[in-house]
Amino acid sequence: MSSSIYMKVLESQPERYDRGITLLSLGAADRARRRLVDDLVEPGMRVLEIGCGTGALTVLAARRGAEVVAFDVSDPMLAMARRKVVDAGVSDRVHLEHEGVSGMDAFEDESFDLVAATLVFSELSSDERVWALRHSCRVLRPAGRLGLVDEVTPESLGEKLVHGAVRLPLLLVTFALTQTTTQPVDGLSRLVAEAGFRVETEERTALGSLLYLVAAKETTE
Ligand SMILES: C[S@@+](CC[C@H](N)C(=O)[O-])C[C@H]1O[C@@H](n2cnc3c(N)ncnc32)[C@H](O)[C@@H]1O
C-alpha cells in the first residue's frame, strides 16, 4: 500500500491525516487498527500506545474500556488526538504525552497489559526499533501482549512489482515535499523475538504490504 510514503505528507497536515490514510490504504489501516483492538483489548486493561498520531487507536481502545497512555513526538498530531479523545468522551481513560520512543525508559516495569504501535516502526531508525521493543517488553506484565501494524515489503514477485511501481513516484514526491522518507520495516518479527517476545500471529494484507503482528512477552517459568 506504500502508505508510509504518503504518511509523511499527511502528518504535516493532521486534519487530513485520517481521511488520507483511509483513502490511500483503501481502508486497510482502519481495519487493522480495529482488528488489533477487537483481538487484544479488554475493559480495564492498561494500554501503552507508541506514536499515537491523531489518536485513532487510542480512542478505539478507550471506548473498549481500556486505560490508555499514548505518546507521540508530533505536537500537531497530538493536538488532533486530544480533540478526538474529548469528542469521543473518553478523556478520563486517556493520558496523552508529548514524548519520543527515546523516552520509553521512563515508563515503569510491568505496568501495562498491551503495547500497541500502528504505522510507527517504519518511521523509526533501526536503533529506535530495538530500543522501543526492548522497553515494550520491559513495561509489559508477564504474558502481556505486543500488537504491531506496519508497512512491509511484499514477498511475492507480483506484489513486489506492483508495490515498487507505486512506491517510487511516491518516494520522490514525499522527499520533495518533506525532505524525509520512510522504509518498510522488514525483519520485524525477528527483532520482536530478539526483544523477548513469542510471535503468535503474523499476517499480511493490502497486497502483502501491511503486516499485522501479535506477540506475547516470554515468561521464564
Ligand atoms: C504514520 S503515523 C501513525 C500514527 C498512528 N499510530 C496511526 O495508526 O495512524 C506515525 C506517527 O509516529 C510518530 N513518530 C515518529 N517517530 C516517532 C518517535 N521517535 N517517537 C514517537 N513517535 C514517533 C509520528 O509523529 C506520527 O504521529
Give residue 159 CA to ligand 1 midpoint distance, Å.
Answer: 26
Does ligand 1 lie within 6 Å of residue 208's CB atom?
no
Half-sphere exposure of 96 (CA within 13 A, CB side): 27
Q: Please choose from 8, 73, 148 the residue to mutate so as to test ligand 1's pocket, defined by most ligand atoms within 8 A of CB.
A: 73
Which helix (H) or strand (E) element contains residue 114? strand 112-118
Q: Which domains does the chain show, CATH number per domain?
A: 3-217 (3.40.50.150)
Half-sphere exposure of 65 (CA within 13 A, CB side): 7
140-151/210-217 β-pairing: antiparallel
Residue 116 per-residue DSSP state: E
Residue owning the nearest CA to atom 23 of ligand 1: 51
- The strand pairing partners of 169, in sequence order, are none
pTM of the model: 0.89
Model pLDDT, residue 181: 46
- Whether residue 129 contacts residue 185, with contact meaning beta carbons closer than 8 Å, is answered with yes
CA-only gyration radius of the chain, Å: 16
Number of residues assigned to the chain: 221
The edge-to-edge listing of strands for the beta sheet with 197-205 is 94-98, 67-72, 46-50, 112-118, 140-151, 210-217, 197-205
Give residue 50 CA to ligand 1 midpoint distance, Å.
Answer: 7
- Whether residue 214 contacts residue 188, with contact meaning beta carbons closer than 8 Å, is answered with no
Does ligand 1 lie within 6 Å of residue 151's CB atom?
no
Report the chain (221 residues): mean pLDDT per 10 consecutive residues. Answer: 57 71 77 97 98 96 98 94 97 98 98 97 94 98 96 78 67 54 80 97 89 92 60
Give residue 9 CA to ligand 1 midpoint distance, Å.
Answer: 13
